């Protein structure tokens, strides 16, 4: 059987979403229904949705992927709620404060040992674009907001490490010294750092605190991790440091992303070359601040109609 994953990745990166969704449905048609939500697999490796439309049904949205994935696809929850009979979301409890600000739906704490019982239609949150057949640009951004922390004007938020699951997304912190010398900076990571930042002891492991810091920064520079999704969901300018062959959602040949219009992509030109990435960012920083981008983006951005405020 052909592995359709490369074709799907190419379609997603090229914004050929109808093609990507057709590939997904072809894959689904070849699956054995008995393997759906297979308890022998880790939650993030399971397939949950059976391909039926969520329209008019009681839907349980399961958030079995990472925090960043949930934030990325939570943009679809209000639309889903308008089309389904009812929507309940099962997600890690630490995400509930964000999800409440995005959609007015019941929330369940995800306990891997005791998952919620099935509903009329179960779907993993990452499957919502295909189920609803709605591309990312059709969903307004920002879809999340937070009161900004009080920070020195022009502060850059920095995040240079992803989780331990992918050490290729770790940037040696000393490479960021040119950025910290150019502007006041703060760390968006837990734990201490030797970098000359405003918070050398690091950022509290709390999503509301992190969101407040991001809201107060005119620019966030980060690797591909939850911080990137949180900044993008809030419409904050975010410069994304990517490895040469990044995750499917980022096109390494592009400068922008359909998922987050406020993002600018900086992919490695050679595998492992973070120096080149940081050099390009340092080169572009003066233009960002000189041309007023930062002045127009200090603190909380303009709110779209109906936006809710966290905190």
CATH code of the domain containing 186 = 3.40.50.2000
The answer to the question of residue 247 being in a domain is yes
For residue 172, is it within any domain?
yes
Q: Compute, in degrees rounded to 10, the torsion defined by CA atoms 92, 96, 100, 101.
A: -110
Q: Say if pTM beats, i.e. exceeds, 0.85.
A: yes
Instruction: Identify the band that residue 181 occupies on the pLDDT scale cut at 50, 70 and 90.
Output: very high
Give the model confidence (pLDDT) of 82-121 as tens digits: 999 999 999 999 999 999 999 999 999 999 999 999 999 9
What range does the domain containing 208 cover? 156-290
How high is the pLDDT of residue 166? 82
What is the tally of structural domains in the chain?
2
Per-residue pLDDT tens for 244-298?
A: 999 999 999 999 999 999 999 999 999 999 999 999 999 999 999 987 555 445 5
14 falls within a domain: no
């Amino acid at each position: 059987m052909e592995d359709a994953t490369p074709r799907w990745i190419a379609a997603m990166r090229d914004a050929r979403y109808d093609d990507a969704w057709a590939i997904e449905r072809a894959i689904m048609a070849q699956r054995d229904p008995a393997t759906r939500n297979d308890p022998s697999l880790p939650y993030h490796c399971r397939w949950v949705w059976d391909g039926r439309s969520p329209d008019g049904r009681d839907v349980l949205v399961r958030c079995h992927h990472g925090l960043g994935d949930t934030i990325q696809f939570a943009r679809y929850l209000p639309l889903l709620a308008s089309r389904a009979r009812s929507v309940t979301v099962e997600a890690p409890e630490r995400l509930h404060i964000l999800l409440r600000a995005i959609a007015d739906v019941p929330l369940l704490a995800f306990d891997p040992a005791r998952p919620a019982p099935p509903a009329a239609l179960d779907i993993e949150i990452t499957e919502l674009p295909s189920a609803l057949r709605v591309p990312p640009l059709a969903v307004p951004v920002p879809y999340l907001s937070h009161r900004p922390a009080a920070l020195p004007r022009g502060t850059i938020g920095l995040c240079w490490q992803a989780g331990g699951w992918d050490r290729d997304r770790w940037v040696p912190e000393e490479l960021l010294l040119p950025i910290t010398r150019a502007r006041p900076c703060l760390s968006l990571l837990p734990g201490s750092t030797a970098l000359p930042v405003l918070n050398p002891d690091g950022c509290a492991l709390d999503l509301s605190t992190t969101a407040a810091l991001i809201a107060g920064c005119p620019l966030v520079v980060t690797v591909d991790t939850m911080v990137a999704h949180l900044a993008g969901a809030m419409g904050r300018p975010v410069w994304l440091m990517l490895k040469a062959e990044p995750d499917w959602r980022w096109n390494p040949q592009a400068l922008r992303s359909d998922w987050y219009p406020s993002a600018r992509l900086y992919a490695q030109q050679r595998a492992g070359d973070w120096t080149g990435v940081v050099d390009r960012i340092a080169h572009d920083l003066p233009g960002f601040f000189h041309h007023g981008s930062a002045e127009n983006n200090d603190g909380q951005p303009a709110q779209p109609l109906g936006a809710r405020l966290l905190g």
